């Protein structure tokens, strides 16, 4: 595995110089040693100060060290950027969350006629009834601009796993549909829209959804444990049809900017990517998942650490140790990024080392 962890445990930050913290370094390095993690990058935003720590290597075969500039595949953390893009279009009156998704996706067809009932909101909170991806075909990646449209067209023989709105079931396909919606409504390629309307305004200059634009010279490669040894993965998890669910690439500095913008409800320096009021929609619980997640943790043999667990639009919401969290994790072969915010704290918390250790423990 390789990992990027972003944790905020304080009030919205003023942008100040980053610094190291011995306690954070000890926690992160201890985790890396215990779980044989070749490389790790961690940032903690605590009140008005941002702490960073990097350790290990980008790839065992080369020995190149991890740095703040190391680019990580962000996996499902990508979905937060999709949700932001959709809400930008909602703000401009170009998308209605409660409209049928077919209003915006004329080419979308399924053999199950219930697909016509799917609402945009249901894709964002995984209650659409859409199935999940079975094979990402990372061994045969596509890079051309028509890849997403071909993938959507290929859904015509698929069926729903439930009626729209009936149950919660995590669906990466739902976010491929949202990426196509963004492209159709904006009349821009999905990746270009996010670059122009989110990444560039926030100054995320080393971030991209396109593998062809990623800084491959600074790329972290995933590793797997096999027969007691840690070895580089044989495949890299990129295939352009799955941009909406998983192809963001970003370094630690850029993800700090992302966290700061969200902590300040869509504002960073002179730029605003969302209205402050929009976060009342994004972070408002749309479905309680406590029972479902408790069963998932139990079946995995992992203690369930939350008092409650739910989902807003794109973001997961939880109560842990009496504190509200908004977050999304990612997991593709050998790569485990996490973005976690605690936006309701008005004063810096002294419990952030415990929170960091807890988040790292959940990456196993």
Rg of the Cα trace of the chain? 20
The CA distance from 192 to 214, in Å, is 13
Q: Can you tell me the mean pLDDT for 274-284? A: 97
pLDDT-based confidence at residue 45 (cuts at 50, 70, 90) = confident
- Lowest mean pLDDT segment, chosen from 99-103, 202-206, 314-318, 350-354: 350-354
Across 19-28, b (16+ Cβ under 10 Å) vs e yields: eebeebbebb
The CA distance from 195 to 132, in Å, is 26
Give the residue among 253, 277, 259, 247 at the shortest CA–CA distance from 326: 259
Does residue 13 surpass a pLDDT of 50?
no
Sign of the C-alpha dihedral, residues 10, 49, 20, 51? Answer: positive
pLDDT of 49 reads 83
The CA distance from 273 to 266, in Å, is 5
Q: Tell me the domains of the chain and their CATH numbers.
A: 2-78+210-361 (3.40.710.10), 81-192 (3.40.710.10)
Sign of the C-alpha dihedral, residues 16, 253, 316, 2? Answer: negative
> What's phi and psi for 74, nearest 5 deg?
-90, 0
pLDDT of 335 reads 57
Instruction: Confirm if 280 and 81 have CB atoms less than 8 A apart.
Output: no
pLDDT of 5 reads 62
pLDDT digits (tens, 9 = 90+) for 123-132: 999 999 999 9
The CA distance from 212 to 318, in Å, is 36
Q: Which one is predicted more confidently, 22 or 215?
A: 215
pLDDT digits (tens, 9 = 90+) for 78-101: 999 999 999 999 999 999 999 999
Longest dimension (CA), the chain: 58
- Lowest mean pLDDT segment, chosen from 153-162, 206-215, 236-245, 300-309: 300-309
pLDDT digits (tens, 9 = 90+) for 327-357: 998 876 555 667 777 664 333 333 444 445 5
pLDDT digits (tens, 9 = 90+) for 26-37: 888 888 888 788
pLDDT of 32 reads 81
């Amino acid at each position: 595995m390789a990992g990027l962890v972003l944790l905020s445990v304080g009030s919205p930050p003023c942008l100040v110089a980053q610094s190291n913290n011995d306690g954070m370094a000890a926690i992160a390095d201890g985790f890396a040693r215990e779980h044989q993690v070749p490389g790790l990058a961690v940032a903690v935003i605590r009140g008005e100060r941002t702490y960073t720590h990097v350790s290990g290597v980008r790839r065992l075969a080369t020995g190149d060290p991890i740095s703040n500039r190391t680019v990580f595949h962000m996996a499902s953390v990508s979905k937060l950027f999709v949700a932001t893009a959709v809400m930008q279009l909602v703000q401009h009156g170009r998308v209605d969350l409660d409209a049928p998704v077919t209003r915006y996706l004329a080419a979308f067809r399924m053999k199950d006629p219930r697909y016509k009932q799917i609402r945009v909101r249901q894709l964002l909170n995984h209650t659409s009834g859409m199935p999940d991806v079975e094979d990402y075909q990372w061994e045969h990646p596509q890079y051309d601009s028509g890849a997403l449209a071909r993938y959507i067209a290929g859904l015509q023989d698929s069926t729903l796993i439930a009626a729209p709105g009936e149950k919660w079931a995590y669906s990466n396909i739902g976010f491929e549909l949202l990426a196509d919606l963004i492209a159709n409504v904006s009349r821009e390629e999905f990746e270009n829209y996010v670059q122009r309307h989110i990444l560039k305004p926030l100054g995320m200059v080393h971030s991209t959804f396109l593998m062809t634009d990623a800084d491959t010279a600074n790329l972290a490669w995933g590793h797997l444990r096999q027969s007691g040894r840690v070895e580089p993965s044989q495949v890299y998890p990129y295939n352009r049809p799955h941009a909406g669910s998983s192809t963001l690439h970003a370094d630690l500095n850029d993800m700090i900017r992302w966290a700061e913008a969200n902590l300040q409800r869509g504002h960073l320096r002179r730029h605003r990517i969302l209205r402050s009021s929009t976060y009342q929609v994004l972070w408002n619980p749309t479905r309680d998942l406590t029972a479902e997640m408790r069963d998932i943790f139990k079946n995995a043999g992992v203690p369930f650490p939350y008092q409650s667990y739910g989902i807003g639009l794109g973001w997961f919401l939880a109560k842990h140790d009496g504190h509200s969290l908004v977050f999304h994790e990612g997991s593709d072969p050998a790569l485990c990024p996490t973005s976690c915010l605690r936006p309701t704290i008005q004063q810096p918390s002294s419990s952030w080392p415990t929170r960091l250790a807890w988040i790292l423990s959940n990456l196993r």
